[in-house]
Amino acid sequence: MSRQISSLLAIAAVCVTLAPAPAFAAPKEEPVDCEQVKCIALTFDDGPSKYAGTLLDTLKKHDAKATFFLEGQYVKSRPQYVKRMVAEGHELGNHSYSHPDFTKSDAATIKSEIQKTQDAVKKAAGVEPRLLRPPYGLADLQVSDIAAEFGMPIILWTAGSKDWSTKDVDAIQKQTLAVAEPNGIILMHDWVKQTVDGMASLIKTLKNKGYHLVTVSDVIKSQELKPGDAFPTPEGWES
Ligand code: NI
């Protein structure tokens, strides 16, 4: 070995020795195993609404994760909230661009509604939703086929908060607690001001009952859904 090479090797060895230890990554949150602990997924449809910022503040303060089924037209007008949702660890779903009933729409309309929303979210936050919740939770075989083309399962809900009809902080809280169950998926709306107003109190109560507030993907992990599958299975669907 020439002296030049051996000294180069020596330098290399020193470099390896002196190479800084990898910086400690920010402490990662322990992944929650929803088969082992009590989980619940709060989902917010039709947004981002004008209250999304307040809702995100509350979720952050109380260390709760949620899933937002976004409407493309509002993603376009309020992209800053979508960016925050991703940065703060929430999950995004596609809830169409302008909220038509997919079971009364033709295939081209459905595809365009989904694609435009995927594009708007990508533009706002650099990611694409991987879950579809059709408007009104209405889906049929055609919707399922199109969801499959987009590689997305259809996510409905196990129970509703009825927030859009009661618009009352106490009623929303009472209803949500009455239907809360392990691995439940709860339908809420961030455009209902009372939902956002009562969120801190609701989160505290759910946590006191032992719930971890997680994303939809966390609670459906064990379902092994395929693109086009719907969960929970709608009435009249073959499972
Ligand atoms: Ni909706």
Catalytic residues, which ones?
45, 189
58 alpha carbon to ligand 1 midpoint, in Å?
A: 22
28 alpha carbon to ligand 1 midpoint, in Å?
A: 33
pLDDT in single tens digits along all 239 residues of the chain: 444 544 544 444 444 444 444 445 545 566 799 999 999 999 999 999 999 999 999 999 999 999 999 999 999 999 999 999 999 999 999 999 999 999 999 999 999 999 999 999 999 999 999 999 999 999 999 999 999 999 999 999 999 999 999 999 999 999 999 999 999 999 999 999 999 999 999 999 999 999 999 999 999 999 999 999 999 998 888 65
Q: Is residue 24 part of a domain?
A: no
87-125 as b/e, with b when 16 or more CB fall inside 10 Å? eeebbbbbbbbebbebeebeeeebeebbebbbebbeebb
Q: Is residue 108 part of a domain?
A: yes
| CATH number for 185 | 3.20.20.370
103 alpha carbon to ligand 1 midpoint, in Å?
A: 14
Q: Is residue 9 part of a domain?
A: no
Give the number of domains in the chain: 1
**Domain of 98, in residue numbers:** 39-231
